[in-house]
Amino acid sequence: MAVAQAKIDALAARLDALDLPHGGFTRAARAEALARLRATGLPHRRDEYWKYTDPASLIAAAAPAAALFDGQEPPVFDTIDRLRLVFVDGVFDAEASDDPALAGVEICRLAEADAADIHWAKSVYGVLEARGQDPVSRPLAALNTAAATDGVLIRATGRAAKPVSLIYLHKSETSDAILHHCVRVEGGAELTLLENGPAAARFNKVLEVDVAAGGRFHHVRAQGRDHERRAVTHCFARVGEGALFKSFTLTANGQLTRNETVIEIVGDNAVAHVAGAALGDGRHGTFHHDDTVFVTHDAEACESRQVFKKVLKNGATGVFQGKILVKPGAQKTDGYQISQSLLLDDDSQFLAKPELEIYADDVKCSHGSTSGAIDETALFYLRSRGVPLEEARALLVLSFLADAIAEIEDEAIQQEITSRLEGWLARRR
Amino acid sequence: MLNINNLHVKLEEEDKAILKGVSLDVPAGSVHAIMGPNGSGKSTLSYVLSGRDGYEVTEGSATLEGADLLEMDPEERAAAGLFLAFQYPVEIPGVGNMTFLRTALNAQRKAKGMDEISAGDFLKLVREKAKALKIDADMLKRPVNVGFSGGEKKRNEILQMAVLDPKMCILDETDSGLDVDAMKLVSDGVNALRDAGRSFLVITHYQRLLDHIRPDVVHIMADGRIVKTGGPDLALEVERNGYGDLLAEVG
Ligand SMILES: Nc1ncnc2c1ncn2[C@@H]1O[C@H](COP(=O)(O)OP(=O)(O)OP(=O)(O)O)[C@@H](O)[C@H]1O
Ligand SMILES: [Mg+2]
């Protein structure tokens, strides 16, 4: 009871500090999310779903300050031809952004669309988030739906001429950003969404993605290198018949990151892959990275893959909670899940909770989780061929991450991500 | 080329002596073979020379062209021209064979103050060496040794040797697991590399390999020591009579 009350009290304190937008087309969704939230309260470290990650700093009324990071390397994706949409501490910056006109795509700022009464996003905003609240509640996503102040609505009606790139800049040490994006990929359309940057001292982001029958959606994200930032992100995806959903996240640095991905496969023959590579070095304070994934198969002959890799050192913590739920009737499901960590020292830890729940009899599902050190024999083999120790180590770390990176389809984008990994490793020689 | 003098080695983790005073001189341009019963310390010698962790040298020395090998990191030994073809080649999932070869070759070139090899020249070099060893393009594309058969792994070791062009080649049971044709390929590969500036130390259990690669000198190792040294005939003697008489003779 004490815990339940604490969760409600935390919510009251948090809401007090917020100026809730009333919105036009999002009004009903916001009110409904708030009602759900009042019933659950905010997450608590005693909640089963938060047993490996303490949500205290994510739910606190004020964002803990985070020093700005002065990285000297050029921002990721700089070499990719893309449409840039810039957010500074959670506020869209039209000046810094490209003209949002792109063949095959309609782009609209949430804050502006909100004034309108009718919008395609009405069937997405807060809708996929609400569907993702069962069987596990995700109060920080509901809070986001109720309180998001900005974001972007993207509708792909054809093959997008280039990727849409959301760039999140962090310029204030105490910024607290809540962004909510909606994406709809219409039948036969294709879109690549890129995201990069730390966004704010504390960042709460929801991305809802509705991929209609035959649509294809690619998502590649690099979560900024700021050492002190905190982030909780949710991606809610609904994947239709014959559709493709692919998401990859690179996380290097950050004190606390909780990335939840909730995928509902609703059409036959669909494919959904979610992957992540996290590099954590605790020498800058703390590094705690949590990937929480929930994939529901509710159609026949669909394929899902979860591939998560973590490289941890100096007391870094990695968490993976991954579930595959196969509903009755979802025959011929092919579900796969792997979570692995490479511990570069004895201080770091990896906590994993892989789960399968299957209610159909003709399915193929497997999961695995491993945790280990660098293979000393392989290291010696490389060195005996003349490869210096640190270079050999870096090569083995990259090879450990290879399966996750391979989930990025576009070669140029894959190369961008690989070069970031190499940079991270090179700085630690 | 390679001078080993009174080398004593024990395991780092436990008080177990493995090499108990090995002395060996392999001059430039020559081929020496080492034979000896299982567990006599042949592989240990090759590992200690190439710098593997886990062993402690308690006495003696080992030099390559006068340079103290035991002071160097494994990668420095490789750059100095030492190469070990492993008895059990290592699998490295996630690292492509070509990437592995190119990284190794460029690391060695860098250590020698040379520029990296161009992509075109590298491809040409590898293709040419691979062809001679009947290593197909598919094997080159796969991760290092992953899913290779025993014989393929051994051929891959010789490919690395041919590409890296070392001065001192140690072959640890490169013949084991090879079929008759592969044995011929590997031997031809080794023979093609024989020249006045390069030396070989060939560890083997069988005379067969030494029919193809004619050694100048044969050593018998037992219980961590070289107990007998002779010409190619010594290998024939082992093949005929085993080690029993030999070991009894040296006490
Ligand atoms: N790391 C180790 N830990 C424990 N024992 C070891 C280790 N390395 C070598 N030894 C022991 O040292 C001895 C020599 O081993 P080594 O592998 O050098 O023999 P070898 O002559 O190469 O044998 P083979 O002909 O079977 O290949 C063996 O008794 C072996 O068990
Ligand atoms: Mg051996």
Q: In sequence order, what DSSP letters do the residues of A235-249 get, joined into one string?
A: EEEEE-TT-EEEEEE
Q: What pLDDT score was predicted for residue B211? A: 85
Would you say the CB of residue B41 lies under 6 angstroms from ligand 1?
yes
Q: Which of A252, A248, A144 is nearest to A198 (CA)?
A: A252
CB contact under 8 A, A387 and B75: yes
pLDDT at B208: 83
3-state secondary structure of A260: strand
Window 48-77 of B, Cβ < 8 Å to A: 50-53, 73-75, 77
| Ordered strands of the A334-343 beta sheet | A91-92, A83-88, A164-169, A190-196, A216-223, A244-252, A271-281, A303-313, A334-343, A364-372
Which residues are within 8 A (CB) of A352 and not within 5 positions of it... i.e. 6 or more apart? A319, A320, A321, A322, A339, A341, A369, A371
Residue pair A185/A207 in contact (Cβ under 8 Å)? The answer is no
> Do the chains contact at B94 and A378, CB–CB below 8 Å?
no
Q: Let me know: does A311 contact A400? Beta carbons within 8 Å.
A: yes
* Residue A395 contacts B, CB cutoff 8 Å: yes
Task: Choose among B6, B7, B2: nearest CA to B55.
Answer: B7
Determine the 3-state secondary structure of A331 from DSSP: coil
CB pairs under 8 A between A and B: 77
Check CB contact under 8 Å for A378 and B86: no
Answer yes or no: do A402 and B94 touch at CB < 8 A.
yes
Q: For B163, name the nearest residue in chain A, comparing CA atoms only.
A: A385
Q: A387, B79: Cβ pair inside 8 Å? A: no
- B99: nearest CA in chain A? A395
Note whether B155 and B185 are within 8 A (CB).
Answer: yes
- Asked whether the beta carbons of residue A378 and residue B52 sit closer than 8 angstroms, the reply is no
What's the rounded Cα separation, in Å, for the pair B247 and B222? 8
Domain limits of chain A?
2-375
Question: For residues A234 and A292, what is the distance between their CA atoms, to the nearest angstrom?
Answer: 9
Residue of the CA atom closest to atom 6 of ligand 1: B11
And the tokens for B33?
A: 């073979």
- Rounded to a whole number of angstroms, the distance from the CA of A104 to the nearest CA of chain B is 37
Q: Which of A377, A385, A389 sits opposite B164 (nearest CB)?
A: A385
Contact with chain B for residue A396, Cβ under 8 A:
yes
Which among A376, A380, A399 has CB closest to B95?
Answer: A399
The response to whether residue B46 sits with its C-beta less than 6 Å from ligand 1 reads: no
For ligand 2, the distance from its centroid to the CA atom of residue B43, given in whole angstroms, is 4
Tell me the angle at which helices A376-384 and A389-405 cross, rounded to the nearest 10 degrees: 120
Report d(CA A277, CA A223) in Å as an integer: 11
Residues paired with A352 in a beta bridge? A320
Q: Residue B182: its pLDDT value, please?
A: 82
Q: Is B11 in the pocket of ligand 1 (CB under 6 A)?
A: yes
Q: Which helix (H) or strand (E) holds A5?
A: helix A2-16
pLDDT greater than 90 at residue B213: no
The whole-number pLDDT of residue B183 equals: 87
CB contact under 8 A, B95 and A381: no
Q: Evaluate whether A230 touches A199 at the Cβ level (below 8 Å).
A: no
Q: Choosing among B53, B83, B90, B171, which should be mutated to test the A contact, i.e. which has the most A CBs within 10 A?
A: B90
Distance of CA B203 to the CA centre of its chain: 8
Measured between CB atoms, does A248 come within 8 Å of chain B? no
Does the predicted interface ipTM exceed a cut of 0.90? yes
Pocket probe for ligand 1: among B44, B45, B48, the residue whose CB has the most ligand atoms within 8 Å is B44
In one letter, which amino acid is A299?
A: A
Are the CB atoms for A275 and A305 separated by under 8 Å?
Answer: yes
Is the separation of the CB atoms in A162 and A58 below 8 Å? no
- Per-residue confidence (pLDDT) for residue B189, from 0 to 100: 83
Mutational test site, ligand 1, from B9, B19, B20, B40, max ligand atoms within 8 Å of CB: B40
DSSP chain B: -EEEEEEEEEESSSS-EEEEEEEEEE-TT-EEEEE--TTSSHHHHHHHHHT-TTEEEEEEEEEETTEEGGGS-HHHHHHTTEEEE-SSPPPEEEEEHHHHHHHHHHHHHHHTTPPPPPHHHHHHHHHHHHHHTT--HHHHHSEETTT--HHHHHHHHHHHHHHH--SEEEEESTTTT--HHHHHHHHHHHHHH--TT-EEEEE-S-HHHHHHS--SEEEEEETTEEEEEE-THHHHHHHHH-SHHHHHHH-
Report residues of chain A scoring pLDDT below 70. Answer: 1, 117-118
To probe the interface with A, which of B72, B92, B98, B126 has the most A CB atoms within 10 Å?
B92
Q: How many A from CA of B43 to the centre of ligand 1? A: 7
Interface probe, candidates A379, A380, A384, A387, chain B, greatest B C-beta count within 10 A? A384
Nearest CA in chain A to B52: A380
The reply to whether residue A403 touches residue B52, judged by beta carbons under 8 angstroms, is no
Average pLDDT in chain B: 90
Q: How far is B169 from chain A (nearest CA, A)?
A: 12
Ligand 1 in contact with B97 (CB < 6 A)? no
- Pick from A387, A396, A400: which is nearest to B107 by CB? A387
Does residue B44's CB lie within 6 angstroms of at least one atom of ligand 1? yes
- B44 touches B17 (CB < 8 A): no
Quote the ligand 1 centre to B41 CA distance (angstroms). 6
Compare all CA atoms of chain B with the CA of A401 and give the residue at the minimum distance: B94
For residue B47, which ligand has an atom nearest its CA?
Answer: 1
Please tell me which of the candidates A378, A387, A400 has its beta carbon nearest to residue B90. A378
Residue A52 DSSP one-character state: S
B145: left (phi > 0), else alpha (psi -120 to 50), else beta?
left
| C-alpha to C-alpha distance for B79 and A132, rounded to whole angstroms | 57
The predicted model gives B4-22 an average pLDDT of 92
One-letter amino acid of A45: R
Q: Which of A67-71, B90-94, B122-126 is predicted with the least confidence, judged by mean pLDDT? A: A67-71
Residue B176: phi, psi to the nearest 5?
-70, 135
pLDDT digits (tens, 9 = 90+) for B139-198: 888 899 998 888 889 889 999 999 999 999 999 988 888 888 888 888 888 888 888 889
